Each structure stands twice: as structure tokens, then as C-alpha cells.
Amino acid sequence: MSLARLLFRELLRGPRTIEGPLPDPLGIEQLGRALGERARAGLGRSLRIREVDAGSCNGCELEIQAVNGPVYDLERFGIHFVASPRHADVLLVTGPVSRNMAEALRRTYDAMPSPKWVVAMGDCAADGGCFAGGYAVLGGVHHLLPVDLTIPGCPPTPLNLLSGLLALLEVAAVGSDGQASGA
């Protein structure tokens, strides 16, 4: 089948994207606590994410690729993965933070402009998961950086990931005066 026919067929059948989930209420609560004493800045309904694999098994990366695909289509919510930490609002970290990656992770964080958020994705990033302990890992992102949101799972499903990030968007969109900046 030619590319033209395949494209035409795709146009006729409509989008493959599924309906998005609601923001994770637990995530909003955690974010509320984490950000309670820090200045909030309204970002509008747009978040830029820099992802760093700090020693994951690559399972989390597979699910991140899934949310970027047409089925979950993260970008429709204004959330976008970027190449440079200089362009990022959010650092999304996977893995138990191997000691060999700690400096690169720290430098990536330092390169991001404020205000910035850190999301620990998956059980490893939360507390080291099944790699906790031993000489080679720190055992969770919070040992190195302030974590604003944890998305549990091994790996978290795309819907978990989506709903966690939507919670972040919800909170980030609220300005320091408590008003939703988009309103």
C-alpha cells in the first residue's frame, strides 16, 4: 500500500488518541505539600520536561515513549519533552540514581532555570526500588534533589504518568496569588 493511501485512510478513521485521565488527586496533594513553602509562579498551561535516566532498567523510558505517541498524546495538554535543561521547567528522573550518574543529574538540574520542579518516576526513583542499598546507588532522587512529585509503579503506566503530570500542570498553572493563570 502506498504512503498516500495509508495517510488518507488514517485521516478518514479519525484520531487514535484516547481520552485523557483526570489529574491525580494524590499527586495534587503531594505537590501542595511540597510547594507549600516555596514561591509558586504561574506558567500558563504549558510545561517543558527534561528527562534524565539515572540508572533505570529502561522500562520507564519505554512508557515515556508511549505517552509521547499518538495514543496518549501528551502534547495536547501543553506538555512537551525538550532536549536542553535550559528550556525545561520539570526534571523527570527515572532510576535509583546510580552514583555514576549523580553528577550528571545534579548538573542537569543546576542548568535549569527557576522555577523548576522535580518528578521522581517509578519505584526506583522513589526509594531505589529493587536496587536500593549497596555501593552503587543513592537509592532515590530525594537523596540528591528536592522532589516535588513521585509517580509510583514499576514502571508507572502511561495513564499513571499522564495523570501525575496533569496534576503538576494544574499546580504549576496556579499563580502565586492562588489564581489559575489561564483563567
Which among 37-45, 112-120, 129-137, 169-177 is the span making contact with another protein, rule CB under 8 A? 129-137
Applying CB under 8 A, among 33, 44, 103, 106 the residue interacting with another protein is 103
* Shortest distance, position 123 Cβ to another protein, whole Å: 10
**Helix and strand numbers, DSSP H then E, in the chain:** 6, 5
- Cα gap 5→3, rounded to integer Å: 6
Interface segment toward another protein; rule CB under 8 A; list 28-36, 95-103, 140-148, 164-172 = 95-103
- Segment contacting another protein (CB under 8 A): 39-47, 76-84, 141-149, 161-169? 76-84
**Which residue matches cell numbers 488518507?**
8
Nearer to another protein, 37 or 110 (CB): 110
Of 180, 157, 160, nearest in space to 169 by CA:
180
Alpha-carbon torsion 155, 158, 159, 162, what sign?
Answer: positive
140 contributes a contact to another protein by CB under 8 A: no
In angstroms, what is the minimal distance from the CB of 113 to another protein? 17
Query: CA-to-CA distance for 38 and 139, rounded, in angstroms?
Result: 25
Binding-site string for another protein from residue 32 to residue 71, where x marks contact by CB under 8 A and - marks none: -------------------xxxxxxxxxxxxxxxx-xxxx
Other Cβ atoms less than 10 A from the Cβ of 122: the count is 26
Among residues 23, 27, 155, 164, the one that binds another protein under rule CB under 8 A: 155
Find cell 488518541 and name the residue: 17
User: Can you tell me the distance from the alpha carbon of 146 to that of 123, in angstroms, rounded to the nearest whole number?
Assistant: 17
Mode of pairing for the β-strands spanning 117-121 and 149-151: parallel
Q: Which residues bind another protein (CB under 8 A)?
A: 1-3, 6-7, 16, 51-66, 68-71, 81, 83-85, 95-96, 98-104, 108, 129-131, 133-137, 154-155, 157
